[in-house]
């Protein structure tokens, strides 16, 4: 029986950088990124013989990320990821495929005496995501949201589920629904050159969150599908939406022992264990995603 080298790749993970664009002496813009690069290609010799002639040091990958961050203005993270991925494939002959993942952390200006402060911020929750794959099979881009927490205090039910002797959950016609949205949406491949990345991102994000808020929920699974369906209905540039929605449980507290009635106002928040709902919504005529697309 022969032993062979299987699929492999390597790279630099989580290159952290902050880019300050100094528009004037006191008016600044802030961009906070976390960039990961992964490369594959003609790399068998380094695994099998320790021959590093085709290996680009991961330190070099980090330097490229920092150097490209000098672009002014710094483009949308999808475009930044595309530039990095194409560079690594075009500049280094042994490399045929590059995967780039970018997270952008949002900061908002601190209110000042005369409006938003021009060079002071506070960190907001969640993150914007971009994933790029560039290789022999083509170029593909996905975008998304990371860890955006949402909650609605009514408009959610859960009942009619299977029961047996292990079931303790009571059905409910009114509950708090809370989750941390992890979303990815895939762009049409023909759009990766001309896409208006910022507009597309904001529209998809707003549709996801609006649908969560407005759609009456009979289950988190139903809400997941409604969110993905709404994005694809409104955005022709997108072909697939993947969602991971952990159920952040809020349980009504029984105050009867204290002689008090809890009219759906006091809840215990539990962080674990928790249910997690995952699903994909896609156009039935969409080209399959490239197997190596960096969804995570």
Is residue 148 a contact partner of residue 181, using CB atoms and an 8 Å limit? yes
Residue that is last in its domain, among 89, 115, 136:
136
Indicate if 149 and 282 belong to the same structural domain.
yes
Range of the domain at 105: 8-136
Residue 147 parent element (H or E): strand 138-152
4 has a pLDDT exceeding 80: yes
194 has a pLDDT exceeding 80: no
pLDDT tens per residue across span 7-29: 999 999 999 999 999 999 999 99
Indicate if 65 and 176 belong to the same structural domain.
no
pLDDT category at 123 given cuts 50, 70, 90 is very high
Indicate if 264 and 154 belong to the same structural domain.
yes
Q: Which residues are catalytic?
A: 12, 58, 249
Distances (CA, A) of 168 to 82, 267, 288: 50, 18, 41
Residue that is last in its domain, among 136, 152, 170:
136
Distances (CA, A) of 258 to 11, 182, 262, 263: 58, 40, 10, 14
pLDDT category at 134 given cuts 50, 70, 90 is very high
Closest CA to 150 of 177, 127, 175, 172: 177
Closest CA to 131 of 12, 294, 280, 244: 294
């Amino acid at each position: 029986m022969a032993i062979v080298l299987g699929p492999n790749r390597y790279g630099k993970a989580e290159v952290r950088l902050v880019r300050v664009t100094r528009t004037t002496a006191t008016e600044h813009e802030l961009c906070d990124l976390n960039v990961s690069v992964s490369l594959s290609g003609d790399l068998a010799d380094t695994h099998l013989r320790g021959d590093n002639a085709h290996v680009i040091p991961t330190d070099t990958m980090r330097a490229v990320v920092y150097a490209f961050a000098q672009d002014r203005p710094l483009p949308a993270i999808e475009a930044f990821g595309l530039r990095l991925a194409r560079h690594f494939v075009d500049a280094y002959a042994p490399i045929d495929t590059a995967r780039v993942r970018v997270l952008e952390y949002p900061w908002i200006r601190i209110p000042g005496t005369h409006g938003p402060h021009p060079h002071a911020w506070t960190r907001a929750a969640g993150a914007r995501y971009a994933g790029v794959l560039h290789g022999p099979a083509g170029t593909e881009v996905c975008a998304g949201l990371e860890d955006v927490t949402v909650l609605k205090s009514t408009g959610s039910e859960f009942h009619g589920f299977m029961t047996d002797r292990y079931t303790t959950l009571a059905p409910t016609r009114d509950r708090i629904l809370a989750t941390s949205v992890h979303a990815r949406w895939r762009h049409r491949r023909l759009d990766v050159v001309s896409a208006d990345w910022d507009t597309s991102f904001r529209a998809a994000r707003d549709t996801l969150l609006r649908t969560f808020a407005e759609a009456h929920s009979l289950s988190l699974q139903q809400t997941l599908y409604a969110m993905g369906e709404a994005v694809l209905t409104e955005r022709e540039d997108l072909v697939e939406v993947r969602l991971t929605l952990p159920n952040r449980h809020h349980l009504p507290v029984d105050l009867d022992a204290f002689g008090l009635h809890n009219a759906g106002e006091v809840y215990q928040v539990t962080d674990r264990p928790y249910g997690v709902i995952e699903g994909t919504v896609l156009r039935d005529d969409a080209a399959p995603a490239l197997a190596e697309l960096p969804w995570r």
